[in-house]
Copies of this chain bind each other. A is one copy, B any other.
Amino acid sequence: MTTRRRYALTLEYDGAPFVGWQRQDNGLSVQQVLEEAAARLNNGVPPLAVAAGRTDAGVHAEGQVAEIEIAAGELPPERVREALNFHTRPHPVSAVRAAVAPEGWSARFSAVRRGYRYRILNRRARPALDIGRVWHVQGRLDTEAMHAAAQALLGRHDFSAFRAASCQAKTAERTLDRLDVSRLGDEVVVTAEARSFLHHQVRNLVGTLAMVGLGRRGPEWPRRVLDGRDRTRAGQTAPAEGLCFVFVRYNVEPEWT
């Protein structure tokens, strides 16, 4: 009988070719690519992979974290990482780090902080190098107004106004720890951090802040939307392709290699 062992993985992926993290009938998911690669280390049976966050179709990841249990003896984590990176080819999914999962650790439920980056290409000309990686906004964005508006959303609130209709969370109460808007040349970056987010929360926040950046609404408006708790009053959901899941933090961090 082979020993079963649970591994933690840090994943990088290009969201473009996938229906999202989660398995679905209508196309290939990151989860399926990972599980089918892991089957090669699990007597041919795809094990269940659980992720810290279920990213939507088109959303990228630099630092998604997942856990997977396989029956491959006491395989060192770097060998698991290398085997997965061999078998996930040619899909744009790469295990960047691996570790033996700590006792009692859950990729999803032990996470204490999640970080996202949203990239906006803010210029007249359409993107060439960053197609599929940015939201292209042609009108000039006032990032100082966006940043000021964002600061009024920090803290613990009912984020119903920024939640997808499909969101399955029991409560819309969340604590937003960071929402920064900055510009580097033609690129505007929104950085969002919280223990957890509602479905579409970051994209709805970005779409709402963009209305402020374009001068169509004042910097006090996003806070009024928040207080109204009415999704229909917020801005559009910013496109998936600008979003990247950057990191997950744990109180007990796996010993990554």
Contacts and interface: CB of A to CB of B under 8 A. Distances in A.
A129 B96 contact: no
Contacts of A60: 129
Contact of A92 (B89, B94, B131): B131
Interface in A152-169: none
A69 interface: no
A168 to B, nearest CB: 28
A173 interface: no
**Copies in the assembly, this chain:** 2
Interface in A118-174: 123-129, 131
A123 B13 CA distance: 15
Contact of A125 (B94, B126, B128, B244): B94
A150 to B, nearest CB: 25
Nearest to A13: B128
A81 interface: yes
Contacts of A51: none
A133 to B, nearest CB: 8
Contact of A128 (B78, B93, B124): B93
Nearest to A86: B126
A45 B131 CA distance: 29
B81 A96 contact: no
B128 A82 contact: no
A132 to B, nearest CB: 10
A95 interface: yes
B124 A81 contact: yes
A124 B62 contact: no
Interface string A217-252: 000000000000000000000000000100000000
12 contacts: A13-B128, A14-B128, A14-B129, A14-B131, A78-B124, A81-B124, A82-B124, A92-B128, A92-B131, A94-B128, A96-B125, A129-B244
Interface of A: 12-14, 60, 62, 78, 81-82, 85, 89, 92-97, 123-129, 131, 244
